[in-house]
Amino acid sequence: MFYSKNYSKLAAFAILLLTFSCQQEQKIKRYDDQLFADYDQYKEQSLKNRRIKHSQLQPLIDKLRSKEGIEITPLGKSIEGREISMISMGEGDIDILLWSQMHGNEPTATMAIFDILNFLTASDTYDAQRQALLKNARIHFIPMLNPDGAQKFKRRNALNIDINRDALRLQSPEGRILKRVRDSLNADFGFNLHDQSIYYNAERTEKPATLSYLATAFDYDKSVNEVREKSMQVIGFMNDIVQKYAPGQVGRYSDDFEPRAFGDNIQKWGTSLILIESGGYKNDTEKQFIRKLNYISILSALFGIADNSYALINPDEYEKIPFNDRKLFDLKIEKMNYELNGKTYVLDVGIDLNEVDNEDHTSFYSIGKVEDIGDLSTYYGYQTIDATGLDYQQGRTYLLSDDDDLSSISFSGLLNDGFVAVSTDMASDSLAFNSYPINFVKKDAGFTTRLDLGQNATFLLKNGDSLAYVILNGFVYVPGNSTDFIKNGIVNK
């Protein structure tokens, strides 16, 4: 009888716990699976690549003016006179401020903001969710805080200062705008939206830090008060979502206090600050999949804040996110044989594809450079070649005859024969790159490829007399395959 009574009590207690757990779980309303599946309905199709200009956003903002419940506020102008606008909606008591491109060359979240705006201003099967969100929250978007930097696709503004290090002196008009908006709203939550290097990885893994988060510190002791704890909970909420679509590809910034930074100070001023950095994802040069992850995670976070379900997340979940590390290359070559002065060495090589903008900063070409040589066993690559047993060899230069026409040349045929460059009159002093899958060199000059730090990554990997790989300006060509993926060659002066 004693056993039965206690067993009954334990069973009843277990049922109570299960019921409570289910109730808690039910409070976290998640729509990310549906949002992910339906994303293309809301994606802003006019924004297709990262080099977004201020002029591209103005028609989108103007289109929003006719939408019911939308308020467009001119906040002021940049140093070069470009209008900075804020888009607001909702009638709730929770004020949420989101801003993007305080660094002009960090636009991934800007694209996502307009996707989110398209969702929030639509009318369809999500109407009930939208109404609940906008009833409880008032949401404010500043899509492009640094339009002058965006015009030249550079980090800094026209004064050449980093706006994110201007929170104390407030020398920039853009910084003063952000401070004034934050103070006037006394925002409950702030989303500070950035891009980071694609070469960050989640610590001790080969996976890129596709998204990285930071609940910024507000003092040197890295104290955690109620304001910062909310930041940690929102990040834990978002991380749980992103892990479904990019497992293991989330990182966390060091929370060392930076007294000049807006993020740290906004946390200090009483707004729960969520810093999001968009990094890299394999074969996503224009960050369109990462844009989608921003859309899914930020929109889900807005829902979670509005219904307070983010508060069910244990702040300790934030601490479980691995730190960022920077140990990724575009291409890592492992254990190739390299001969120097009659001796053979086994070397790893790390190669990155550096972007160089065209004159009007609307597109770019790539220069593949050797970034590191030696034992790179603690590093990783978006693409990795196991070159065990393969020998490094310089490529050859094909001499074009007067009758040769580039349009009729088989570039795959040249690469299959170990040619990495063509000698042509098209290799002018003013030309830095070409759109062909081969390098150019001036007529009657050679194209010397050597293994050296900072040099162009162009060489062969051979297995005896057999060609295994051509490394052409940092791109990898496998004999017999297509050359379509080789973005461009360079011109050797």
- C-alpha span between 90 and 317 (Å, rounded): 30
**Which residues of the chain register pLDDT less than 70?**
1-27, 402-403, 429-430, 444-447
98 shares its domain with 147? yes
93 shares its domain with 14? no
DSSP string computed for 363-412? -EEEEEEEEEEE--TT-EEEEEEE-TT-EEE--EEEE--TT--GGG--HH
Q: Tally the domains of the chain.
A: 3
Cα-based torsion angle of the residue sequence 171, 174, 176, 182 in order, rounded to the nearest 10 degrees? -150
- pLDDT for 426: 75
- pLDDT for 14: 43
- pLDDT for 22: 43
2 shares its domain with 86? no
Decide which of 292, 325, 358 is a domain's last residue. Answer: 325
- C-alpha span between 239 and 210 (Å, rounded): 11
- pLDDT for 447: 67
164 shares its domain with 53? yes
Residues of the domain holding 2: 1-27
- pLDDT for 443: 76
Decide which of 296, 325, 354 is a domain's last residue. Answer: 325
Decide which of 293, 325, 357 is a domain's last residue. Answer: 325
Contacts of 360 (CB under 8 A, 6+ apart): none
Q: DSSP secondary-structure letter at 456?
A: B
187 shares its domain with 274? yes
56 shares its domain with 114? yes
- C-alpha span between 158 and 153 (Å, rounded): 11
- pLDDT for 307: 96
- C-alpha span between 470 and 438 (Å, rounded): 11
CATH code of the domain containing 461? 2.30.40.10
How much is the mean pLDDT over the chain? 93
User: Which residue, 318, 323, 221, is CA-closest to 264?
Assistant: 221
175 shares its domain with 103? yes
86 shares its domain with 235? yes
- pLDDT for 445: 67
267 shares its domain with 336? no
E strand or H helix that includes residue 459: strand 459-463
373 shares its domain with 319? no
380 shares its domain with 262? no
251 shares its domain with 137? yes
